[in-house]
Amino acid sequence: MANHKLSRTTEDIKRELTAIFRELKDPRVTGAFVSIIRVEVTNDLSYCTVYISAIEGMERAQEAVKGLKSAAGFIRSELGRRLTIRHVPSMIFKATDSIEYSASISRILRDLEQKRPASSGEEKEDMTDD
């Protein structure tokens, strides 16, 4: 039962952090297309690790993390105001290249689809005639 409550709290924190990020005025955060990839909260709710990714790449995500670290006090107080939890966890922000990695895989798959020979369509027609 405790695991269910922890996962629900984690989702609540992720949802509220997304809203708080939209309200930040730091150009390092607002200038990038920043996305929260994953949120991990310790069992005792003392620490919360937030994985951040930017579509512009890893360097941009690291810049956004610097902006988020400088606004960590504001983010934590806003989170405490919006959520009804006894102890608001300390925020740890980490950059990840998940969006950039996903975009590169998508490009590779699209390129493979374009390079696929036209004969593959004829093979499908032959199989349906049986």
* In 1-130, beta strands by DSSP E: 34-41, 47-54, 90-95
Query: In this predicted structure, what is the pLDDT of residue 118?
Result: 58
Segments making up each domain of the chain, as ranges: 2-98
**Spatial distance between the Cα atoms of 70 and 51, rounded to a whole number of angstroms:** 16
pTM attached to this predicted model = 0.73
Mean pLDDT by 10 residues, the chain (130 residues): 81 93 88 88 93 88 92 93 90 86 82 73 52
Cα distance between residue 74 and residue 28, in whole Å: 15
- State the fold for domain 2-98: GMP Synthetase; Chain A, domain 3 (3.30.300)
How buried is 107 (Cβ within 10 angstroms: 0-12 exposed, 13-18 middle, 19+ buried)? exposed
> What pLDDT is recorded for position 119?
53
Q: What is the pLDDT of residue 92?
A: 95
Q: Of 109, 103, 92, 87, whose CA–CA distance to 43 is shortest?
A: 87
